[in-house]
Amino acid sequence: MRLISLAAACVFTLLATPAFAQSEEDVMGQIENLHGMSVEFGEAFGLMQDAFLFADPTTIADLGVYPLTVEANGEIYDILEPQDLVDNFDYLLTPDTIAALSSQDYADLIVTSDGVGFANGALWMNLICVDDACAQAWWGITRINN
């Protein structure tokens, strides 16, 4: 009985975690299948990664969806507008989080129906619809977890 319980726990653990050793094409396909606009996601990914790599908090703030929830220093903050993120960037994002986001491999993204996770869930992006029909949409940062 214990062996069956252990086997079941292992199966559920494997099903609940993102697939590893996936290719960039696999990730792009998952994004397209779950959310659509995978090409636009690739563009947002490049913008965001360059912004973290070159210490450009304004570009990162421009990608945010406000109010933006940021977990930092054991607290949860609701960032109300882009300038708040820019002004408090060094306090709200740890050096480890910035390093992980600047070196994020496309193939290692977490893709779920809830969005796309970076750096083991340190940052999440979602497709944001401009209208009810979602005829116009953009990829935005919806949460940052340090």
Q: What's the pLDDT tens digit per position in 13-66?
A: 444 445 456 899 999 999 999 999 999 999 999 999 999 999 999 999 999 999
State yes or no: pLDDT of 4 exceeds 70. no
User: What pLDDT score does 17 carry?
Assistant: 45
- Residue that has been written with the tokens 């992980």 in this structure: 100
Query: Of 91 and 8, which is predicted with more confidence?
Result: 91
Q: Count of CB atoms within 10 A of residue 23's CB? A: 10
Close Cβ partners of 70 (under 8 Å, ≥ 6 residues apart): 76, 77, 79, 85, 92, 93, 143, 144, 146
State yes or no: pLDDT of 118 exceeds 90. yes
Give me the residue spans of the domains in the chain: 22-145
If residue 117 lies in a helix (H) or strand (E), which one and from where to where? strand 115-118
Q: What are the tens digits of pLDDT across the range 71-114?
A: 999 999 999 999 999 999 999 999 999 999 999 999 999 999 99
Q: For residue 92, which of 104, 80, 108 has the smallest C-alpha distance? A: 80
State yes or no: pLDDT of 3 exceeds 90. no
Beta partners for residue 45, in sequence order: none
State yes or no: pLDDT of 12 exceeds 70. no
Q: Rounded mean pLDDT of 107-124?
A: 97
User: What pLDDT score does 20 carry?
Assistant: 54
> Where does the pLDDT of residue 134 fall: very low under 50, low under 70, confident under 90, or very high at 90 and above?
confident
